[in-house]
Every structure is written in structure tokens, then in C-alpha cells.
A and B are shown apart, each in its own frame.
Chain A
Amino acid sequence: MAASSKFISEWWLQRISAVIVAAYVFLVLALLMIYGTPNAVQWQSLFANVGFKLATILTIIATAYHGLVGSLHVWPDYVKNRAVLSVLNAYTWVAAIAVVLWATYILFGLK
């Protein structure tokens, strides 16, 4: 029971995080299509905008979660060696957490 409800919430969160990332990707690609390749000033002022910072960190968190759950489900289908699998799972957790922390630093702590 607990396992199945965990699976269902994971299933939903995987799709909700996907929709968040997709919305952000559509936004950035639309900006690229409309304005073309940015120069340094345009690029850095886009990332100086607080609304864009918040959208970016939300997307990074959704990406890290989506990648964490996806990777943890996919590795065991191909990697049968338990030791190698543990290393990959540990790497996946560390990478997901590191991505969120580092992106927070880049967006809110840089300079």
C-alpha cells in the first residue's frame, strides 16, 4: 500500500516536473526564435531579471527531480552488477543535489 502510493505520487511528480521544464524550454526557445542569439549584455540582463531567476531555479529543481527519478528507474534495467548500480545511484543522488545547490549559487550568489 505504502509502496503503491509512493509509486503513484512519483508518477504524478514525474509528469508535473516535465510540464514545468517544458514550459521553460518553450519560453527560452521562443525568445531565441524572436530575438536571435543574445550578446553578453542581453544574456546577462535576462538572467538578472528576478522573475527569470525564479523561473530558472524552479526549472532546475524540476529538472533535478525528474532526472533523479528517471535515472534511478532506468539504471537497474541495464546494470545488473550490484556494486556498479550502487555507484551509479549514489552518483545520481549527489549530482541531483549538487545541481540544485550550484544553480542556486549561480543565480543568487554570484558576484
Chain B
Amino acid sequence: MSDTPLAKARARPVYRNIGFGDLAHYRLPIPGIASIVHRVTGLAMFVCLLFLLAMLQMSLKSEAGFEAFRSVVWGNPIAKLVLIGLMFALIYHLVAGIRHMIQDANVWLDLATARTSAFAVFGISVVLTALVVWRLM
């Protein structure tokens, strides 16, 4: 006890939560990126839900409403890009959610598999989104 130098005890590293300023020094591993994207896509969809309902109401109100949606919203390149982004968010969140629930069963948890499945989630979501957008064109 008494032979432990006080200076050495003081030199022990301090672990804290990181702040935004520290972010540049950290490289998030791919499973970490998959996790944060799952959160971001979920929040983005939740925030957009009311706008999506407005569009649903417009499309169901009348035939003219449906055509107005097609020309005003779907015909606008920026709005179309946002909607395609939301489609990716939905598909990504769903695929990542399936991976999450597989991991709930205590499998696929070793680092190598977690990395592979995180990459797979990105790959599968991009392909599925491309397929859906192709069918909507």
C-alpha cells in the first residue's frame, strides 16, 4: 500500500464520455456506424410521419389529389430525393432491425460476424432501395 507512489496513481488515465470536439480523433467501427444509422433513420422517419400522412391524405382524397401528388411532390426533384431517402431509411431500419433481433437471440455477436453482418445490412438496404425506386419509376 504505502510503497505505491502517489504520482503513479495520479497518472492513471481518466475515462469520460466523449464530446463533439473529440469526435475527429475517433474512428467508429462499422457495427457502431450501423447502430448510429439505425437511430438516425428511425428519428428521421418519426419526424417525417406527419408529412407522409399529409401526402397520404392528398393521394386518397380524390383522383385529382392523387395526380396533384404525382406532379407537385413526385414531380419535384428535391421532394423526390427526400422521399427516396425516406424509403432508404425505412428499408435500412427494417434490415438493421432484423439483424438487431437476431443478435437479441445471443448469436452473431463475435466481432468478425458483427462486422460482416453490419456491412451486409448496408449492402442489402442499398440494393433493395434501388429495386423499389426502379419499380416506382
Residues of A at the B interface (CB closer than 8 Å) are 15, 18, 21-22, 25, 29, 32-33, 36-37, 39-41, 43-44, 47, 63-64, 67, 70-71, 74, 92, 95, 98-99, 102-103, 106, 110-111
Contact = CB atoms under 8 A, between A and B. Distances in A.
Interface of B (DSSP majority class):
helix
Interface centre among B53, B60, B98, B101 (most CB of A within 10 A): B60
A34 B29 CA distance: 38
Contact of A95 (B42, B49, B63, B94): B49
Given A41-B63, A102-B57, A110-B60, 14 more contacts: A15-B104, A22-B97, A25-B94, A40-B66, A43-B59, A43-B60, A43-B66, A44-B59, A67-B45, A71-B42, A74-B39, A92-B46, A95-B46, A103-B56
B83 to A, nearest CB: 13
A103 B97 contact: no
A25 B59 CA distance: 18
B48 to A, nearest CB: 10
Contacts of A70: 42-43, 46
Given A18-B101, A29-B132, A99 B49 contact: yes
Mostly helix, strand, loop or mixed at chain A's interface?
A: helix
Given A22-B97, A25-B90, A33 B131 contact: yes
B16 interface: no
Nearest to B39: A74
Contacts of A92: 46
Given A18-B97, A41-B63, A71 B90 contact: no
Interface size class of B (residues with CB under 8 A): 20 to 34
Interface of B: 39, 42-43, 45-47, 49-50, 53, 56-57, 59-61, 63, 66-67, 90, 94, 97-98, 101, 104, 131-132, 135-137
Given A74-B43, A95-B46, A106-B60, A37 B135 contact: yes
Contacts of A64: 49
B59 to A, nearest CB: 6
B97 A102 contact: no
A99 B61 CA distance: 17
A40 B67 contact: yes
9 contacts: A43-B59, A43-B60, A47-B60, A71-B42, A71-B46, A102-B50, A103-B53, A106-B56, A110-B57
